[in-house]
């Protein structure tokens, strides 16, 4: 009898992909803090998880040109940030906000990764009958 482990991680597999995509976006925002006209972006985590859970949400990101970059793990949920204090050069990156979001994202990524590791460990124990 073949066991099916495809749903053993639940929503946490999707969450890990979203945290990874968000890390890339936040790093890009921080790297472009001094770039004139750069618009800060972020991931709408709630929209991604509701779509992964089967609920309706905004439509997925369509790529109409082969040069478009895919929004890995966060398709359709990348949004531009509304700047708290618009800059004269058109840059919408608030460096302190981005650094705080990056740190918070790192903690959430680590927590999700730890949950997945614990889940895999418990599955290994279940398969082996509790023996190590």
Confidence at residue 46, expressed as pLDDT on a 0 to 100 scale: 79
Reading the block at residue 90, the tokens are 């058109």
Tell me, yes or no, whether 6 lies in a domain. no
Q: Could you tell me if residue 49 is inside a domain?
A: yes
Does a structural domain hold residue 47? yes
Residue 70 forms part of a structural domain: yes
Query: Is residue 100 situated within a structural domain?
Result: yes
Given a cut of 60, whether residue 126 has pLDDT beyond it is yes
Tens-place pLDDT, residues 13-40: 888 888 999 999 999 999 999 999 999 9
Q: How many domains does the chain have?
A: 1
DSSP 32-77: TTTSTT---EEE-HHHHHHHHTT---SPPPP--STTSPP-TT-TT-
Within-domain flag for 89: yes
- For 93-117, the pLDDT digits (tens) are 999 999 999 999 999 999 999 999 9
Range of the domain at 84: 12-128
Q: Is residue 79 part of a domain?
A: yes
Task: With respect to residue 7, please indicate whether it lies within any of the assigned structural domains.
Answer: no
């Amino acid at each position: 009898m073949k066991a099916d482990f495809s749903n053993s991680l639940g929503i946490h597999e999707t969450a890990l992909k979203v945290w990874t995509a968000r890390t890339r976006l936040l790093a890009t925002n921080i790297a472009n803090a001094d770039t004139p006209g750069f618009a800060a972006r972020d991931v709408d985590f709630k929209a991604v998880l509701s779509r992964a859970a089967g609920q309706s949400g905004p439509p997925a990101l369509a790529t109409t040109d082969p040069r478009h970059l895919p929004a890995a793990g966060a398709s359709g949920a990348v949004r531009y940030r509304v700047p708290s204090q618009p800059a004269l050069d058109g840059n919408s990156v608030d460096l302190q906000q981005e650094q705080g979001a990056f740190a918070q994202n790192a903690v959430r990524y680590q927590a999700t990764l730890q949950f997945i590791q614990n889940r895999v460990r418990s599955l290994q124990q279940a398969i082996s009958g509790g023996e190590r």
